[in-house]
Chain A
Amino acid sequence: MPAPSETVSVRMYRGLLGDCFLLRHQIGDQRFHALIDCGVLQCIGAAGAKPQTGKGAARLKQAIASLQKDTRGADGRSRLDLVVATHEHYDHLSGFILGHDAFRDDFEFGDVWVAWTEDPDDDQAKDIRARGRKALSALKFIADRSTAFGVDGDAQARLSVIRDLLQFYDADIEAWAPEPDGLGAAAGTSKPKPAYDPARDRPRSCANAIDWLRHRATGKVSYLEPGDVVTFGLGERLTAKVMGPPRKAERLLQLDPSRDGGREVYLLRPGDAAPLESRLRLGLAKGDPGLAGPADLPFSPRFRRRESRTSKHLTERLYRAKESSRRRIDGEWLETAEHLAMKIDGDVNNTSLVLAIETRDRHVLLFPADAQVGNWLSWHDQRYPRTASAVGTESAADILGRVVLYKVGHHGSHNATARDQGLELMTSPHLAAMIPVVEDVAGEQKTRHNPTGWAMPFRPLAQRLEDLTAKRILKGDGKRADEEQAFANSLFGLTYAGAGADPLWVEVSLPVETPDPAHLTHL
């Protein structure tokens, strides 16, 4: 009897600006399925303005139907032996909201892996979540009141940035509400929504989705820490090395390249939402009574002069003069809000669970989710496994040197692939990359900062990836013929769903070479 062959394959669902990956471990006819994220970017605003983005939800439902079919066991039920939820972003978890019925009725879940930042009993994690929610509820309050800001173009542009970012957090965030005594405010004090009950409710948000997965897991729910080394798969023959998210606060909060933590002042620190809340208590517009207390204003009321359009005062007339309207600063405080929004977004990306999945023949598949710079840099802060002595352990650089498949972080954006401490360490000649991106969709996400839409993938990164992989790159909107040509004679087998030009998924398979194939028959 010939020894059965062992393969590891990774399927990327195409046509999504979002991550949905199915990892299959196969020995002979035994299979193990792991789902790593399942989501697509939400279409905000009129679908007409973003026709490509609007197609995302339908495409994701097709993907879920395909998952259902291809993971079906002998008993007719689909089984995912492992579900990995990397972080609470809509483009990674919305499948569990949009395709809830299918997941609820037809799937069985084994183990669930999430990052330590999702641990409900972890103090540091609780603190991070509470801080984020506080800021989000203030932002939501502002975003809900777009008309309060008049027609100032700058203000509208800033609001749209805020609204775009809130799309990742959606229904679960309650708008800020002032406390009657004016002493600080907390989300939901006025009309608290009942807590989410996974046994009864559909998930409305990404946080709910993670709750729901935890509830449905028939196996173990693991909160992974950097430096953890976990075995899984058939016969525990796969190893996951957990590289992030970091525990160190300054790493978690570092979003952009080369910002030395010591010198810069970051926005999202405890109390960062305070000026915004103060502004909200003061009322958003004229005629809005507001609920400000004395602590919200820096000066005594006698210096105060209410704005009035008919004022004769020179300074006010200058300020309101039509010719210099572009020099006014009414919307500047919204910029604080806008930066806060971007900050929150980056902070959540940095809580991404980063897995380096290793086969028995020491090939590594790297799934960094949307980790940003601080997360990438932190991989080098510990050994794998995490122990005090270096004996028998590896460094992050050792692991990166064996990466043969890189799931490109954050759809190929500029700040989610570290260069010197990351990509440049992936020196394997077999390296291939998968970028879950649809350029047309990214291009539709136009904002003030990005008038031509999101730069995904970021061109310089894409170019460097092409060099390092000899063009072995699979994209969510890649040209099939080009991809097939690039992967010819590579380490990987390449399969598509069907024969069409825009297949639903693409799959790379990696044969695992093992010194004693006979051993596999005993599994």
Chain B
Amino acid sequence: MSARFRPPPARRLRVYAFDPNASLDLASAKFSHATISLPWEEAARRGEEIDGKGAEERIFPGPINEYLEVIDVDPSSNQFYEPIDLNAPEVLAQDGLPPSEGDPRFHQQMVFAVVMNTIKLFERALGRRVIWRPQWNRERRTYDPTPRLRVYPHALREANAYYSPQKRALLFGYFNARQRSAGASWIFSALSHDIIVHETTHAILDGIHPRYSEPTSVDSLAFHEAFADIAALFSHFQLYEAVYDFIADSGGRLDQSGLLSGLAGQFAKGTTGRASLRDYIDKDPDPDLIATTTEAHERGAILVAAVFDAFLSIYTARTEDLLRMSGTRLGTSQHLHPDLVARLTKEATRSADHVLRMCIRALDYLPPVDVEFGEFLRAVITADNDLIPDDRLNYRLAFVEAFRRRGIFPDACLSMSPDNLLWDEPPELLATDDILRAGLNLMPIYKRHEIAPISERNRRKVWYWLSQPYMTVGDRGSRESETLDRLLTEARAILSADTATGLPYAERGDRGDDDDDPPASAGGADDRSAVADRLMEGIRRNLISLKVPHAEIRVLQEELRRAGSHIDQWDALLGFLQCDKVPGLSTDPTVDVAWEDTLGLYFQRPSARLGRNGRPRRGASPLYTIEGSFFGLKVEVHSVRTTRRAGPDGQDVRQLVIEVTQRRAGFLDPGEQKARDEQAASSRSEDFTFRGGATLIIDLREGALRYVIRKSISDERRLARQRDFLLNADALGFTYNRQFANEPFAMLHRG
């Protein structure tokens, strides 16, 4: 028996550094190719099934791995292309196929490598694994995970590329160049590094904040575009040789337009004849421009320019001493010492990396719906402050300054000083220890395929917890109250256990480190009565000790068996408990009210709410536009995720992020809105959906609620703004909405 080899540290794959065009240009030819190192994944064994056990750590021809499935079908040409096997010796031995436009297998390799590299970049900054937008399962009322993002390198014959949220796929187009300067007759968007990063970022962002794809304000879609461009732009600075060359040529300056600051050169030359699709050096920012710019890509460009400006300030600050020591003034000398160029390059690369990480970390600090540019600034500042309290190099100031110069101001902020931009601490002291006792699985999870079912289970547990009223039996802290708490925790665990059945994870329901969760039944979804029986088994003892008569318990069991989904079962249980079936049980609405105020949404009709004096509040609109069931108003828990981040000085931040939202029917006519708000209507029609909600950030070390980032559902000003936005046909408006609702993330919107 021979000794086994250790697995290699990385799989190396060659790609075009920018796009094929840059490799034709003499000036950029020397750094036109790059090699991407990805974590090693075992080769799939012969005959191994993709959804078999252990297959998620392998790589299949396609390439297909646990994140991606590259499917090279070209419907416009009526054919498939041969998929690349990254483990073929010819591929392994030379760091992947050499860059070539004429071999579709290289296209597959490049798309795969760049998408994976982008994923890894986000994972490092986010402190957790990237997961894709899950699919809502109507029948079972739960989210089914999307294990792999689909990538179609030759999806369209069109000068376009997009991420499709519906298909959960990246679609890359190719086309005949219209302009000769593009240097090729066929241009493939799948060979443009920038376009790949841009579209991948859309997909990652959509996985984190699915509601951002809804056009709710001028900023919401623009933010998506801007963020995708930020990721594409700063990924240029990973290319050491290109940055080195640029710095040597420009005498150390980075504020010159060129290959680094422009996006998608070949694509732009092939379509419009311009040097780049977008260029982000704006020498003379106009603070008033933002007020009049409404097209998504253009408005996004202002945000990108601001971030790029922050990067330039940070680069300048980091290189001041180097330049002083060497007696150089930026941009004056054409001949810097090679050692100095190398040091400057290192600083540029590092600054870019820091700026991009700051932006990515901010994603967890954003509201769940209707994001605005000003909120992004606050998120950047707060996230950075949490991880790196001591801002020695004034990174945060650089951001604030750059945003201020472009007129991007957060609403309702005292001033633009970094400490005023921090998100507010929650206004009232709310106990979150019971969220943490809700039976969440907060263990760090290293295997990606285990994340989706666990986070869906956590999500459901938080939802159950949130939708239950505050109940006690006797006094708070009494033995009966504790029994009730145990009963509810048990019920939540059992009800949430059926997630992700029928998917590749089905047989892994019974994992050892997740003790709360009993094994998922093989039948899964359809077998509600089995779940009902399991639930009864789990809580019967507690019901008995709460002195619930046996006859009533049988009634409950029947009711649970009849319920059609886990939500109905939970409702049935809550209804049972509240209908005087448990002697001495009382509910305390004031606790819910405190949460309502903090989260900016409602669990009960506002008109039914009691004021501090214990009497119903007068003048509160009942908001019939929020859908409600018998026991309360509908609330959605959007996502529950844990992060773990390490700072440069050994800081270790562990957080739980919970996003809660609620929807309200919106009407274009303010009069109709008021009428519908105040009168229960029989029909469920609406002109548009208005959402509110909050992101909760909980510090897991201290178990304390740190921030609540809120967009109130009863914010009439915001509602009016969304209405104006939708009515304004000059902006994105309904024209846009209707036509592009399906594919909002096209690289270029089809005019």
Do A and B pair up? The answer is: yes
A residues near B, CB below 8 A?
255-260, 263-267, 269, 271, 274-275, 278-279, 282-283, 286, 290, 296-300, 303-307, 311, 313-316, 318-319, 326-333, 335-336, 339, 343, 414-415, 419-420, 449-450, 455, 458-461, 463
The answer, yes or no, to whether B470 is at the interface (CB within 8 Å) is: no
The answer, yes or no, to whether B76 is at the interface (CB within 8 Å) is: yes
**Stretch among B77-85, B194-202, B423-431, B569-577 lining the A interface:** B77-85
A275 touches B176 (CB 8 A): yes
The answer, yes or no, to whether B245 is at the interface (CB within 8 Å) is: no
Contacts of B178 in A (CB 8 A): 269, 271
The answer, yes or no, to whether B10 is at the interface (CB within 8 Å) is: no
B168 touches A258 (CB 8 A): no
Chain A's nearest CB lies how many Å from the CB of B180? Answer: 13
A260 touches B295 (CB 8 A): yes
The answer, yes or no, to whether B750 is at the interface (CB within 8 Å) is: yes
Q: Given the known A-B contacts A265-B272, A326-B167, A450-B738, are A275 and B751 also in contact in the complex, defined by CB atoms under 8 Å?
A: no
Q: Given the known A-B contacts A315-B64, A329-B171, A450-B738, are A259 and B729 also in contact in the complex, defined by CB atoms under 8 Å?
A: no
Interface residues of B in 181-207 (CB under 8 A from A): 186, 188
Looking at the complex, which one of A265, A305, A306, A414 makes contact with B735 (CB distance below 8 Å)? A414
B60 touches A314 (CB 8 A): yes
The answer, yes or no, to whether B530 is at the interface (CB within 8 Å) is: no
The answer, yes or no, to whether B155 is at the interface (CB within 8 Å) is: yes
B751 touches A258 (CB 8 A): no
Contacts of B669 in A (CB 8 A): 463
Q: Given the known A-B contacts A286-B78, A318-B64, A329-B169, are A263 and B297 also in contact in the complex, defined by CB atoms under 8 Å?
A: yes
The answer, yes or no, to whether B157 is at the interface (CB within 8 Å) is: yes
Contacts of B735 in A (CB 8 A): 256-257, 414-415
The CA-CA distance from A343 to B171 in the complex, in Å, is 22
Residue in chain A with minimal CB distance to B83:
A315
8 residue pairs, one from A and one from B, having the closest CB atoms: A275-B157, A460-B727, A327-B167, A266-B751, A333-B76, A305-B80, A257-B730, A298-B186
Interface residues of B in 726-743 (CB under 8 A from A): 727, 729-731, 733-736, 738-739
Contacts of A463 in B (CB 8 A): 669
The CA-CA distance from A290 to B78 in the complex, in Å, is 11
Contacts of A327 in B (CB 8 A): 150, 167-169
B residues near A, CB below 8 A?
50, 60-62, 64, 69-73, 75-83, 102-105, 150, 152, 154-159, 166-169, 171, 174-176, 178, 186, 188, 271-272, 294-295, 297-298, 668-669, 727, 729-731, 733-736, 738-739, 748-751
Q: List 27 A-B contacts (CB under 8 A).
A: A255-B751, A257-B729, A257-B735, A260-B295, A264-B748, A264-B749, A271-B176, A278-B157, A279-B157, A282-B78, A297-B77, A298-B174, A299-B81, A299-B102, A299-B103, A300-B102, A307-B78, A307-B80, A313-B80, A319-B80, A327-B150, A332-B156, A332-B171, A336-B156, A414-B735, A419-B729, A459-B668
The CA-CA distance from A259 to B296 in the complex, in Å, is 10
The CA-CA distance from A278 to B156 in the complex, in Å, is 12
A305 touches B79 (CB 8 A): yes
The CA-CA distance from A408 to B150 in the complex, in Å, is 46
Other A-B contacts than A282-B76, A315-B64, 15 sampled, CB-CB below 8 A, are: A257-B733, A258-B295, A259-B751, A283-B78, A298-B77, A304-B81, A314-B64, A314-B83, A315-B61, A315-B72, A315-B80, A316-B80, A327-B169, A419-B730, A458-B734
A264 touches B751 (CB 8 A): yes
Residue in chain A with minimal CB distance to B723:
A460
Q: Given the known A-B contacts A265-B271, A327-B167, A329-B152, are A314 and B157 also in contact in the complex, defined by CB atoms under 8 Å?
A: no
Residue in chain B with minimal CB distance to A270:
B178
Chain A's nearest CB lies how many Å from the CB of B500? Answer: 14
Contacts of B81 in A (CB 8 A): 299, 303-305
- Of the candidates A278, A283, A297, A299, the one having the most CB atoms from chain B within 10 angstroms of its own CB is A299
The CA-CA distance from A303 to B60 in the complex, in Å, is 19
Contacts of A279 in B (CB 8 A): 76-77, 157
Residue in chain A with minimal CB distance to B503:
A323
The CA-CA distance from A330 to B188 in the complex, in Å, is 19
Looking at the complex, which one of A263, A283, A318, A460 makes contact with B71 (CB distance below 8 Å)? A318
Chain B's nearest CB lies how many Å from the CB of A411? Answer: 15
Looking at the complex, which one of A257, A263, A290, A299 makes contact with B104 (CB distance below 8 Å)? A299
Residue in chain A with minimal CB distance to B48:
A314
Contacts of B70 in A (CB 8 A): 315
Contacts of A332 in B (CB 8 A): 75, 155-156, 171
Contacts of B152 in A (CB 8 A): 329
The CA-CA distance from A419 to B727 in the complex, in Å, is 11
Residue in chain A with minimal CB distance to B157:
A275
The CA-CA distance from A269 to B178 in the complex, in Å, is 10
The CA-CA distance from A297 to B77 in the complex, in Å, is 7
Contacts of B102 in A (CB 8 A): 299-300
A282 touches B77 (CB 8 A): yes
The CA-CA distance from A300 to B102 in the complex, in Å, is 8
B176 touches A274 (CB 8 A): yes
Residue in chain B with minimal CB distance to A268:
B751
Residue in chain A with minimal CB distance to B81:
A303
Q: Given the known A-B contacts A256-B735, A314-B50, A315-B83, are A333 and B157 also in contact in the complex, defined by CB atoms under 8 Å?
A: yes
B77 touches A449 (CB 8 A): no
Contacts of B76 in A (CB 8 A): 275, 278-279, 282, 333
Looking at the complex, which one of A263, A297, A328 makes contact with B298 (CB distance below 8 Å)? A263
Contacts of A271 in B (CB 8 A): 176, 178
The CA-CA distance from A420 to B157 in the complex, in Å, is 37
B295 touches A259 (CB 8 A): yes
Chain A's nearest CB lies how many Å from the CB of B579? Answer: 41
Chain B's nearest CB lies how many Å from the CB of A186? Answer: 18
Residue in chain B with minimal CB distance to A284:
B78
B75 touches A330 (CB 8 A): yes
Contacts of A307 in B (CB 8 A): 73, 78-80
Chain A's nearest CB lies how many Å from the CB of B153? Answer: 11
B77 touches A326 (CB 8 A): no
B298 touches A420 (CB 8 A): no
A449 touches B78 (CB 8 A): no
Looking at the complex, which one of B155, B156, B727, B738 makes contact with A449 (CB distance below 8 Å)? B738
Residue in chain A with minimal CB distance to B75:
A330
The CA-CA distance from A461 to B81 in the complex, in Å, is 50
Looking at the complex, which one of A264, A306, A318, A420 makes contact with B69 (CB distance below 8 Å)? A318
Contacts of B82 in A (CB 8 A): 303, 305
Chain A's nearest CB lies how many Å from the CB of B173? Answer: 9
Contacts of A269 in B (CB 8 A): 178
Contacts of A315 in B (CB 8 A): 61-62, 64, 69-73, 80, 83
- Of the candidates B60, B69, B76, B749, the one having the most CB atoms from chain A within 10 angstroms of its own CB is B76
Chain B's nearest CB lies how many Å from the CB of A430? Answer: 26
Residue in chain B with minimal CB distance to A343:
B751
A329 touches B729 (CB 8 A): no
Chain B's nearest CB lies how many Å from the CB of A257? Answer: 5
The CA-CA distance from A457 to B107 in the complex, in Å, is 48
Residue in chain A with minimal CB distance to B155:
A329
The CA-CA distance from A214 to B47 in the complex, in Å, is 73
B79 touches A256 (CB 8 A): no
Contacts of B157 in A (CB 8 A): 275, 278-279, 333, 336
Contacts of A339 in B (CB 8 A): 750
Contacts of B62 in A (CB 8 A): 314-315
B159 touches A265 (CB 8 A): yes
Chain B's nearest CB lies how many Å from the CB of A516? Answer: 45
Residue in chain B with minimal CB distance to A254:
B751
Contacts of B176 in A (CB 8 A): 271, 274-275
Chain A's nearest CB lies how many Å from the CB of B737? Answer: 10
Residue in chain B with minimal CB distance to A333:
B76
The CA-CA distance from A402 to B64 in the complex, in Å, is 66
Contacts of A319 in B (CB 8 A): 71, 73, 80
The CA-CA distance from A124 to B735 in the complex, in Å, is 29
Looking at the complex, which one of B73, B188, B748 makes contact with A265 (CB distance below 8 Å)? B748
Looking at the complex, which one of A304, A311, A329, A461 makes contact with B75 (CB distance below 8 Å)? A329
Looking at the complex, which one of B158, B668, B730, B748 makes contact with A420 (CB distance below 8 Å)? B730
The CA-CA distance from A286 to B156 in the complex, in Å, is 18
